[in-house]
Amino acid sequence: MRRASTALLSLATAALIGAAMPGAALGQAGAPAASAKVAPKSAKPGDKPADAKGATPPASPSGAASALPAGHPDTGALPSGHPAVPDVPNEAGDDGEDAPDPHAGGNAHGADPRFYQAPPDGSQDDPSLPIGTLVVSLRDSQDRPIPHAKFSLSELFNTVAKGEKPERITEREVGDDGTARIDNLTIGTSTTYRVSSARAGGRYGIARFPLTDKAGKRAVLHVFDTSSNIEELSAGIQGVVYVSLKEDVIQVEQLLTVFNLGEVAWVPDVAFKLPVGFKAFNKQDSANEARLEEVKDHGAALRGTYGPGRNDMDFRYQVPLDGSEKQTLLVELPPRVAQMRVMAESSRAMALKVASFPDPQKITREGKRLLVTERQFARSESGAQMVEITLTGLPVQGPGRWIAVLLAIVAGVSGIVYVVRHRDETEIDDDTRNDLIEAREALLSEMVALERARTSGEIGPKTYARVRASLLDALARIVAQLDAARDARAAGTRRRRDPRPANEAS
């Protein structure tokens, strides 16, 4: 999706939430952080240490908004690994012009004044500080120091040769000026640090960084007031659902992008249902304190802290095919979904229908045939609540599998019988006998599977009768060869015990 679509989404989100920009904080700006101690968290797998040569510069507001976890697509694009798809005109129209983008620009120049621009977090070298020294600054949403706020300093040692040592976390507090100085820290790329802090039930942190042998470092972290009620916030969600067929399942990939356009963080505990029978749930690690977690036998839940800017949640799961030509998936959504796009990889016989969405467009990209539809939701609708996705023209398992099994086994049996019949020796060797036994067991297993398929209605009576007769014929030939081999072996044993000709022995 082009940058214009990202801007349109932000404007649509603003229209949906109907809030003036920037959003007002719930608490008094600049108030000290709550004194309650919050248990520190371990570093996230997505955190990356800075390179050995220097600083990790503070991220710009645009960087905070646009940077995705490793492997995520660009704004509005397909889930990772899928072909690019051009914009689909929606009901609101799209003239292709760039609308104001609340997440664009690294500074105030060109920024849309209607949207809150979060001050940048990050760390950078400071030559005025001694080597091994870190100065931490905690600030509020208006970039003002927060005196006597608490924070956690995580230290993690990791090398290829020695592996990873347990993370060490220390609790500290800034002074009157909102800063704290820590001296004599370990330098080098093998040791990384992370600063995190809590405020009003939310938790915030910056990416891991090392200390170099060139200078000390300064780290700046902003913390925000919070609300668990998204209806009080200037926030909205964009969603993408991508479905494809994988053997006997429907593979579903979802991307939920939470745009927080105000200066109050969202701390949700919002569960939503996934299609009945979903399995193989997998999620991508988040680069910040926002989390998406599986809710066993129910679906998923948004948890953690969704600060100002953009927060991406990418996850996937599978839904078993029910064996019919038509199947419907009901995907429940979290609140405030302002825009939803549904995409499906399809064959020429397959069709996609999404309830209350426009008819899908057919697009071919990188050899894949895609059906794409999307819709924006008005403020009066309070966002999308549920997406009802119906796929038709799905492949229905027929007798082809049994015909293929039959041909393979009969061919194998015929080959074994041919070899046995054309041997010069009277007896067969152990390898051939073992091949016959394995073929017999395979045929018996297929007989059991065939009976189950007939009982479940997977195959009809004609296919059942034809395949069963062929399996019984092949099984009879195998058993006959095994009986002949047994008789031949018994006769050979008698000859070895009594080498006289048969007429003399009588």
Tell me the pairing of strands 134-139 and 216-222. parallel
The pLDDT of residue 380: 75
* d(C-alpha 211, C-alpha 134), whole Å: 8
Strand-pair partners of 388: 330
Task: Give the H/E segment covering residue 354.
Answer: strand 351-354
Strand-pair partners of 339: 238, 376
Which tokens in the block code for residue 222?
Answer: 């902003």
Residue at token pair 């027929």: 398
Which tokens in the block code for residue 201?
Answer: 């039930």
The pLDDT of residue 408: 63
Cβ neighbours for 461, distance < 8 A, ≥ 6 positions apart: 454
pLDDT in tens, 19-30: 333 333 323 333
* Cβ count near 263 (within 10 Å): 25
* d(C-alpha 22, C-alpha 115), whole Å: 5
The pLDDT of residue 401: 57
Query: For all residues of the chain together, what is the average pLDDT?
Result: 77
pLDDT at position 413 over 70: no
* d(C-alpha 59, C-alpha 65), whole Å: 9
Which tokens in the block code for residue 55?
Answer: 């600083």
Least confident of 90-104, 246-260, 307-321, 396-410: 90-104
DSSP state of 109: T
The CA-based diameter of the chain, rounded to the nearest angstrom, is 118
* d(C-alpha 318, C-alpha 321), whole Å: 9
Instruction: Quote the radius of gyration of the chain (alpha carbons, Å).
Output: 33
The pLDDT of residue 220: 98
pLDDT in tens, 346-358: 887 899 999 999 9
pLDDT in tens, 356-377: 999 999 998 888 899 999 999 9
Residue at token pair 């000390």: 216
- Mean pLDDT, residues 235-247 taken together: 93
Tell me the pairing of strands 270-273 and 299-304. antiparallel
* Cβ count near 359 (within 10 Å): 11
pLDDT in tens, 274-318: 999 999 999 988 878 999 999 999 999 999 999 999 999 999 999
pTM, entire model:
0.62
430-456 vs 461-497: helix crossing angle, rounded to 10: 160
**Above pLDDT 90, what percent of the chain?**
47
* d(C-alpha 206, C-alpha 219), whole Å: 8
DSSP assignment string, 88-126:
---TT----PPPP-TT--SSSTT--TTS--PPPPEEEEE
Go through the domains of the chain in sequence order and give each one's CATH number.
235-392 (2.60.40), 400-497 (1.10.132)
pLDDT at position 345 over 60: yes
Task: Give the H/E segment covering residue 391.
Answer: strand 384-392
* Cβ count near 316 (within 10 Å): 17
Length of the chain, please?
A: 506
* d(C-alpha 90, C-alpha 229), whole Å: 29
